[in-house]
Amino acid sequence: MMRKRALVGLAAVALLATGLSKTVPAADDVTIGFAIALSGWMNAYDGPPLNGSKMAIDEFNAQGGILGKQIKAVIADTKTDVVEGAKAGAEVIAKGAQFVAVSCDYDMGAPAATVANDNKIIAISYCASDAKMGVQGIGPYVFSLEIFGQGEGAVGAAYAWKRGWKKAYAILDASIEYDKSVCDGFLEYFTKLGGEIIGADTFMQEDASIASQITRYKDAAASKGEPEVLILCSYIPGAASAIRQIRAAGINVPIIGGDSMDGDYWVQSVPGLNEHYAVTFGSKWGDDPRTEVNDFFKRYREKHGEPESSFPLNGYSMVQAIKIAAERAGSLETEAVLAELNKFTAEPLLWGATTFTPETHIDLVHPMTVVQIQNGKGSFADQITVSDPPNLKLIFPEFRADLYKK
């Protein structure tokens, strides 16, 4: 019986705590909820865009807000956990969020986006590259400010082709879906352009060593000729560790990766890294051909210090998209804003021209930036738009199985 009393007591404390923490937003504000990772590994990808969003909110508020209303942010931590993610979504909505920003990843962002969608509230993921972050996967209120993963891979293939690299080798980190999408897109588009895939291999993010993958690569190079480009579909930290081991084995082939390899915070892993390319949203090094991007990073540096990657662009664009759609609709009503978002056609957001349709809530064609690391230093390399993107069918497994059989 003692125990029961203790339980009730603890429950009362919990209740009291929740009751006290309630805050009700003023009706003349626009509230954007951020259900994103403030802690855990996802924070590495969510933190920079959150800073971007905060900058957008401050700048827009100084200019009068959205439809004359000041923008207010409410933030809840998903702790890089799916159950917590759903809770964080519910929490920001309970605190009055009219729009919700969710994590930069489909798996991590989906729970909060699902909660928002069920409440008929627009949710925008910072940079989930999975086409399921949208109408088909979650529902009509969910968007992602990202090119779909296969499209990212296709841009990599287009860049390789443009550089005259015709023989590719693929190494896939099979531990997450994003990596598979990028490699799928690359392989499909590269073959379509006429390139040759001389071999493919897989590893796992947490493998302590990729020595046997390197051995296999060398075998392929010995029997079929040196590959001219290596597509490495992985993310930090596994990717950095793989590149360190690849370069150490004397393999100096150009390496292409997706936006998970953007930035230069990881290059210390690979001393004097050369010939590394990442397909991403922009160059943070001040040499992007778009002046608004360079200006943005200048303002960013003043406020938040050196950006890790170009992801803050998406955070800024997220608030920008809401502002543009709401002002066009002349209302903050969800359905009205949604209708305007669905009409976006090459909308010039900070991260690039964005197109949504009622069916497609992720960009299929998007001007992407290729950034490079040479001598351990990052810089802009090229800007590429693939206008005939890979088939959306690539999302489905039966199709994919054939790709690797080559």
Partner 1 sequence: MDSLRPTRIVQAIWTPLVLTVALTSFVAVIAATGDGVLARTVTDALIRMVLVIGLYIFIGNSGVLSFGHIAFTMIGAYATAWFTLPVLRKSIALQLPAFLAESQLPMIPSAIASAALASLVALVVGVPIMRLGGIAASIATLAVLGMFYTFYTNWAAWTMGAATLPGIPIYVNMWVALGWVVVAAFVAFAYQQSRFGLALRASREDEFAARASGINIWAQRLIAFVLSAFFLAIGGVLQAHFLGSIAVKNFWLALTFVSVAMLIVGGQGSLTGAVTGTAVVSIIVEVLRQFEVGIDFRGTLIQVPLGTRELGIALVMLLILIFRPRGITMGREIQWPFHSRQPLTERPPRDAHVSPISSLD
Partner 2 sequence: MTNLLQVAIDALALGSIYALTALGIGLIFGVMRLINFAHGDFIMIGGYALIVPSWAATATLFIGTWPAPLLVAAVSLVVVLLALASERLAFRPVRSAAPSVLLITSFALSYFLENAVIMVYGGRAKAVNLWPGLMEPILLAGVRIPKLQILTIAVTLVLLVFLVVFLKRTPIGVAMRAASEDFRMARLLGVRANRVIAVAFAVSGVLAAVVSLLLVAQTGVLSFHMGVPLVLFAFVATVVGGMGSLAGAVLGGFAVGIVSVIFQVILPIDWRPNRDVWVYGMILLVLLLRPTGLVKVKSIEERA
Q: Is 250 in the site for partner 2 (CB under 8 A)?
A: yes
Backbone φ and ψ for 246, nearest 5 degrees, come out as -65, -50
Three-state DSSP state, 101: strand
Using CB under 8 A as the criterion, what x/- string covers residues 279-318 for binding partner 2?
A: ---------------------------x-x----------
- In Å, how far are 45, 115, 392 from 111, measured between CA atoms? 17, 6, 23
**Spatial separation of the C-alpha atoms in residues 174 and 371, rounded to whole Å:** 24
**Spatial separation of the C-alpha atoms in residues 232 and 250, rounded to whole Å:** 16
Q: Is 18 in the site for partner 1 (CB under 8 A)?
A: yes
**Residue 310 Cβ, how far from partner 2 at the closest point, in Å?**
14
Stretch of residues binding partner 2 (CB under 8 A), selected from 158-166, 212-220, 292-300, 324-332: 212-220
Helices (H), 284-387: 291-304, 312-329, 334-342
Which of 32, 110, 182, 267 lies at the binding interface for partner 1 (CB under 8 A)?
110
Task: Please measure the distance between the N-terminal and C-terminal CA atoms of the chain and give it in whole angstroms.
Answer: 68
Three-state DSSP state, 102: strand
Which of 145, 278, 400, 403 lies at the binding interface for partner 1 (CB under 8 A)?
400
- In Å, how far are 131, 141, 391 from 359, measured between CA atoms? 11, 11, 15
Q: Is 257 in the site for partner 1 (CB under 8 A)?
A: no
Q: Which string of DSSP letters, residue by residue, matches 199-214? A: EEEEE-TT-S--HHHH
Q: Which does 215 bind (CB under 5 to 8 A by kind): partner 1, partner 2, none?
A: partner 2
Q: Is 402 in the site for partner 1 (CB under 8 A)?
A: no
- In Å, how far are 17, 60, 177, 262, 310 from 317, measured between CA atoms? 35, 12, 25, 18, 12
Would you say 136 or 191 has its CB closer to partner 1? 136
Which of 240, 324, 341, 350 lies at the binding interface for partner 2 (CB under 8 A)?
240
**Cβ atoms of 96 and 56 closer than 8 Å:** no
Q: Is 26 in the site for partner 1 (CB under 8 A)?
A: no
Q: Is 392 in the site for partner 1 (CB under 8 A)?
A: no
What is the four-CA torsion angle of 173, 192, 383, 388, rounded to 10 degrees? -110
Three-state DSSP state, 121: coil
Q: Which does 266 bind (CB under 5 to 8 A by kind): partner 1, partner 2, none?
A: partner 2
Q: Is 178 in the site for partner 2 (CB under 8 A)?
A: no
The contact set with partner 2 (CB under 8 A) reads 39-41, 43-44, 80, 174, 200-202, 204, 206-209, 211-213, 215-216, 218-219, 236-237, 240-241, 244-245, 247-250, 263, 265-271, 306, 308, 401, 404-405
The contact set with partner 1 (CB under 8 A) reads 1, 3-4, 7-8, 10-11, 13-15, 17-21, 23, 38-39, 76-77, 82-83, 86-87, 90-91, 94, 106-107, 110-111, 114, 118, 130, 132, 136-138, 174-177, 180, 396-398, 400-401
